Every structure is written in structure tokens, then in C-alpha cells.
Amino acid sequence: MQKSSTCSFMYGELTDKETGEKVQQIFENYEMNSFEILMYKKNRMPVWFFVKIAPIRNEQDKVVLFLCTFSDITAFKQPIEDDSVKGWGKFARLTRALTSSRGVLQQLAPTVHKGENVHKHSRLAEVLQLGSDILPQYKQETPKTPPHIILHYCAFKTTWDWVILILTFYTAIMVPYNVSFKTKQNNVTWLVVDSIVDVIFLVDIVLNFHTTFVGPAGEVISDPKLIRMNYVKTWFVIDLLSCLPYDVINAFENVDEGISSLFSSLKVVRLLRLGRVARKLDHYIEYGAAVLVLLVCVFGLAAHWLACIWYSIGDYEVIDENTNSVRMDSWLYILSESVGTPYRFNASGSGRWEGGPSKDSVYITSLYFTMTSLTSIGFGNIAPTTDGEKLFAVAMMMIGCECVPSSMSLNP
């Protein structure tokens, strides 16, 4: 309406001036208050309102808007003409109207019975809350939920969401590395860690089937049937594919290499969980330090993914299967010669090419190349030579042109 929240445009000749000044002070002082006021409709018909004003604050405890509730109490501010009051005097009818008005005001006024616990969000829960659908501050009462249903904004769920966030970033780092470097998890320690991560993701699925969510109208949905239907339609399939034990399957030595590669590739599906994380982190954009940390994490994650792809291209092209020879223009061959671990053909044994740089050296070199390319530095000591490497380098420089200006514009 492009009008003031004081609704001064509805004031008239009988509107109490002291009440009007009180309304102005309530908004200026960011107070929560209630009052009665006489206003006028467009046709100049007088209307009595019981008004409740509640300031709404953000995570920084700043008032961002006001919630104003208007209740029409005109019927209780004038004598009621009905069969039960016929023959009553004016004073008697007025007394009944005032009594009724007091009863209505008691119903409209917020009450807290003795012994009731009023739900309030702790400051820690507000700061760490990952869900952007947290209840507004003016909704003070805890929704009644079945015993097995968890509130999506409670302290336990907030802590659990942070655990899932950390494990999702762990997955986003390890999955591309394992897929590109074709590492079989023969190390028992890492196998146990990855199995624990899979179990936690499985538990997260169970919890999501018992966690409330905010409906389209802003209400908290606690009906178990609706919760299950909503989760199945949204993130259930992705979460289920994310918790399958691919590492346990790849750990067996007798697994066919093709099947092992297939299961390793399916692990990339876990990266889709990052979309869920991005949606939950959107309300941290208002914090300058948080934006900087997120940009650094996103840039490092992108460089890590590109480093894994860069190695995969080199590993695919370094050995020419048609001529059974090493391509001397490949960056992996050049690296192997510089570090003193050249490729050699094992004619007496496996009949295959062996040697080459270690995986640690290859990963560090790949990450160094992607970092220099994304930041448009490119010292030239590592350069693409094959067609596949050149095409990937062009794509990487285009990504760098998009990432660097965006980072500079968002940098606080």
C-alpha cells in the first residue's frame, strides 16, 4: 500500500491523539505492545481495533519488520440491541458492552499459564541454525508433535545438521580423489572411517523421515504421513544413493575392475548433497566473514575437483594403447622425468607400463596447475600439450574468469 504502519491515514476527528502518539513511540522504540484505537474506513465509518505490534528481529538482533495484528472490536464498543436487552436503560447496555469488551480483550491478550514452558530459541541455535525455515521469533509456542517426531529447529537437529555438513564436505573432497586416482580402500583405517560416514548418512535418512518441515503457508508440518511423502518427493533418492557402501565393495580384491570402476563412478552422486548444503547456507550471506570463508572453501573445492579431472586426462593419454608406447608430450611423462621416476615397460613380468610419479606428487602438481590457471597466473612450468589437455585448460580458464570477478565483487 506504500503507507505507514501507524495507519495514520485512517485517523479521524474522534481518534485519540495520545493513542496516536503512543503508536508512533512504539514503532520508534521497537517495542512489543497492544492498544485500542478508533479508526475510520474509506467511507468515514468509525471502526474500533485492538492492535498488537511485535517487532521481528534477525540473527543480529536487529529489527527488520513489524508484525501488526488488527482485531475488530467495534461490536463490543457500542450498545448491543437485541431481545435480551430490550427495556434496559442506556447505562445498563453500556455496562454490558464494557463487560463483553473486557472478556474479548482477555482472550486477545497473550497469556502464559503458570507452569507452562514457553519455547525460546537459544542464541547459539539461531547462529548455528542451518535450516532457513526456522520458526519466526514471534511464534513462541512449541508445536505439539508426536513423540517420535523431531522439530527441525531444535538444538539436536541443528547439531546433527552441522555434522552432516562436515561429512558432506569430506565426501566432496574424497570422492573425486578416489574416483580419479582409482584408489582401492585397502587401508583398514580409511575403510572404517568411510563405513562410519555411510552409517551416519543412513541414520540421517531415518531422522529425515521423522523431522518436521515448514509448509507453504509457514506452518510447521508434524504429520508423519506428510513428512514421509515430502521427503520421498525431495531428497530421499539422492540421500539413499549417497549412503550405499561403495568403498566396502571396492575393497574386495576379486571384484572385476569394470564393476569396481562403475561403483566408484556412482560415488559421484554423493556430490549432489552439496545442493542441499548450499540451500541451507544461504542465510549466512549477510555476514561478511562468513562470505569470505565460503568463497575460500568453494574456490578450494573447485580447484580440487579440477585437479582430479586434470590428472584423469593425463593418466588416460600418457599411455598410447594403439602403439603401446608412452606419449612424451604428456605432462605426466614430463613430470616423471623431472622427479626421476620415469615410465618403464615391464616386458618380462606383467607386460605393461609401470613406474611414473607417485600419487602424492601427481596430486600436488595437479592442484598447483589448477590453482595457477583459475587465478590467471600460469607460470608455464606445467603446460597442456595434447588436444584433450588444451581443451580442458581452455574450459578451466573460462571458469577462472567467472570465479575471480565474482569473488572480488563479493569480498567484504
pTM beyond 0.75: the answer is no
Pick from 125-134, 220-229, 246-255, 265-274: least confident: 125-134
pLDDT in the model for residue 260: 59
Q: Which of 197-206, 316-325, 344-353 has maximum average pLDDT? A: 197-206
**Sequence-separated contacts (24+) of 274-280 with Cβ below 8 Å:** 274/168, 274/172, 276/168, 276/235, 276/238, 277/165, 277/168, 277/169, 279/132, 280/130, 280/131, 280/132, 280/161, 280/165
Residue 224 has pLDDT above 60, yes or no: yes
What was the pLDDT predicted at 276? 66
Write the burial class of residue 242 (CB in 10 Å: 0-12 exposed, 13-18 middle, 19+ buried).
buried
* pLDDT(138) > 60: no
The b-or-e profile of 331-356 (16+ CB within 10 A means b, else e) is bbbbbbeeeeeebebeeeeeeebeeb
Percent of the chain residues topping a pLDDT of 90:
9
pLDDT band at 210 (very low <50, low <70, confident <90, very high): very high
Type of residue at 256: D
Which tens digits make up the pLDDT trace of 255-290? 565 565 566 666 667 677 776 666 666 556 555 676
Going from the N-terminus, what domains does the chain have, and what CATH number goes with each? 8-106+113-133 (3.30.450), 155-409 (no CATH)
Q: Is 125 exposed, middle or buried (0-12, 13-18, 19+ CB in 10 A)?
A: middle
Residues 111-133 have pLDDT tens digits of 444 444 444 444 444 545 555 44
| pLDDT score, position 412 | 47
Q: What is the mean pLDDT of residues 292-301?
A: 83
pLDDT of residue 30 exceeding 80, the answer is yes
Per-residue pLDDT band for 92 (boundaries 50, 70, 90) equals low
The mean of the pLDDT values for the chain is 76
Which pLDDT score is estimated for 71?
Answer: 86
> Over 90: is that where the pLDDT of 206 sits?
yes
pLDDT-derived band at 32 (thresholds 50, 70, 90) equals confident
In angstroms, the CA 54 to CA 52 distance is: 7
Higher pLDDT, 191 or 47: 47
Q: Read off the pLDDT of each residue in 138-165 and give the average, rounded to a whole number.
A: 78
Q: Rounded to 5 degrees, what are φ and ψ at 361? A: -65, -40
Q: Is 384 exposed, middle or buried (0-12, 13-18, 19+ CB in 10 A)?
A: buried
Q: Which pLDDT belongs to residue 203?
A: 93
Q: List, as own/partner pairs, every contact residues 147-152 make where C-beta atoms lie below 8 angstroms and the sequence separation is at least 24, other chains included.
A: 148/210, 148/224, 149/210, 149/211, 149/212, 149/222, 149/224, 149/227, 150/207, 150/210, 150/211, 150/212, 151/211, 151/212, 151/220, 152/211, 152/212, 152/213, 152/214, 152/220
Q: What is the mean pLDDT of residues 152-173?
A: 85
The pLDDT, as a whole number, for residue 252 is 60
Local confidence band at 304 (pLDDT 50, 70, 90 cut-offs): very high
